[in-house]
Amino acid sequence: MSRALIDLVPKSSWVLRSTSWGNSLPAAVSHAFLPVAQVRQSSHSPMGASPSHGRKPVTINTLQSLYRKNEPITMITAHDFPSAHVADHAGMDMILVGDSLAMVALGMEDTSEVMMEEMILHCRSVARATKSAFTVGDLPMGTYEIAPEQGLESAIRMVKEGRIKSVKLEGGIEMAPTIAKITRAGIPVLAHIGLTPQRQNSLGGFRVQGKSTAGALKLIEDALAVQEAGAFAVVLEAVPAEVAGLVTRNLAIPTIGIGAGNGCSGQVLVQVDMTGNFPPGRILPKFVKQYGDVWSESMRAIQAYKADVKSRAYPAVEHTYPMPKDELAEFEKLIGEKALR
C-alpha cells in the first residue's frame, strides 16, 4: 500500500498485525503497523507455536551433527515467500529452491528452460522467508557445465544475488572439478546423481537410474567422486533402495534421497507434490507420498468466495469501513443539496 493510501486510513482501524513470528515483536519492528482489520487467528497453528519457532539457524555444522547422530535430515522444495515460510515454520532442516520450479511454478515443459535470472528471483523470495532452514539453490542447466570457472561464477551469483547459502548441481565424476572449485571458494555444494532431470534427453526421460549392475556401479563411482570433490551431501534421485542404501553406508557425507528408499541419510520432496497443490488427475512420480490436499482446500475457498460475491453475502458489514454518524449525516445532506444519489 502506498504511503498516500495508508494516510487515508483512520488510525483507529490500525491494529498490530500479528505475524507468524509470534505476538511479541522485537522493538525494532514494533513500528510495523499495518492497516488490517483482522488479526489472523489460525486454529491449527497457534501463534508462536510452530516447530521452528525460536530455533537457531541450521548451518552446515547442524547438518553434520544430525548425520553423526544418524537422525534423518528433512528437506523440501520452496519456490516463493509463502512456500518457504510454511516449510521453515514446519521445521524443515533444509529448503531447496529446485529448478523443478520451472514446471511447478512457471508452467514450463521441463527444467531446462528456466534461466539464471529467474532462479535468482525465486531464491531471493525464499531467502527472505527462511529464518531457520539451511537454503540450497539449484544451478539451472547451462550455468555450470562448460567449465569449473563458469560453475563458480554462477554459484557466486546465486549466493550474492539469490541470497541462498549453498548450491546444488547435477552430475557425478565429470562434475568433480566444478564441485571442488565452488567448494574451495567457500560455497557449500550439494551434489545430485541418479536421475538428473536436466539431462532427461540423454537419459531417455525421467527414468530410474542404477537398476543394472553397471548402472549401480556407476552410481557408487559418482557418489565417491562428488564426496572426494568436497560436496557436503549428495542427492540420490530415483535409484533402487538397495543401491542407495549401499551408497549411503559407504559414504562419509549424508545422502538425501528422492525415490531412493529408506536407507538414505535424509529425504527431499517437491512441496507442491506432497501437499497436493495441483489439479486432480495429475500423474505423480511413484516416490511421492501425498500428505495433503491443498488444491481441494483452495478450490473450496475460492468457490465459496465466488458464491458469496454472486449472492452479495460478501462483503458483510464487518468487512466494511463505517463512517462516523455525524459525518455521514453531513455527507448525506450535501449529497441531497447537490442532487446526487
Ligand X SMILES: Nc1nc(=O)c2c([nH]1)NC[C@@H]1CN(c3ccc(C(=O)N[C@@H](CCC(=O)O)C(=O)O)cc3)CN21
Cell of 202: 540423454
Question: Using CA atoms, how far apart are residues 119 and 139, in angstroms rounded to an integer?
Answer: 8
Question: Using CA atoms, how far apart are residues 191 and 170, in angstroms rounded to an integer?
Answer: 6
**What H or E segment, with its residue span, contains residue 193?**
strand 189-194
Give the angle 107-109-110 at the CA atoms, nearest 5°: 105
Instruction: Give the one residue of 193, 268, 272, 276 binding ligand KIV; rule: CB under 6 A.
Output: 268
C-beta closer to ligand X: residue 79 or 181: 79
* Phi, psi for 336 (deg, rounded to 5): -60, -45
The option from ligand KIV, Mg ion, ligand X, none interacting with 238 (CB < 5 to 8 A, set by class) reads ligand X
Instruction: Give the one residue of 270, 275, 276, 277 binding ligand KIV; rule: CB under 6 A.
Output: 270
Instruction: Give the one residue of 151, 188, 197, 276 binding ligand X; rule: CB under 6 A.
Output: 197
Segment interacting with ligand KIV (CB under 6 A) among 31-39, 40-48, 97-105, 128-136: 97-105
Instruction: Give the one residue of 62, 86, 98, 167 binding Mg ion; rule: CB under 5 A.
Output: 98
Of residues 93 through 152, those in contact with ligand X by CB under 6 A are: 100, 103-104, 111
Q: Crossing angle for the helix pair 176-184 and 148-160, nearest 10 degrees?
A: 40
| Least distance to Mg ion, CB of residue 57, Å | 23
| Least distance to ligand X, CB of residue 200, Å | 8
Catalytic residue IDs: 237
Of residues 217 through 246, those in contact with ligand KIV by CB under 6 A are: 235, 237
Encoded amino acid at 176, one letter = A
Using alpha carbons, select from 101, 145, 133, 104 the residue that is nearest to residue 120.
101
Using alpha carbons, select from 341, 322, 319, 324 the residue that is nearest to residue 332.
341
The option from ligand X, Mg ion, ligand KIV, none interacting with 103 (CB < 5 to 8 A, set by class) reads ligand X
Interacting residues with ligand KIV (CB under 6 A): 77, 96, 98-100, 138, 235, 237, 258, 268, 270
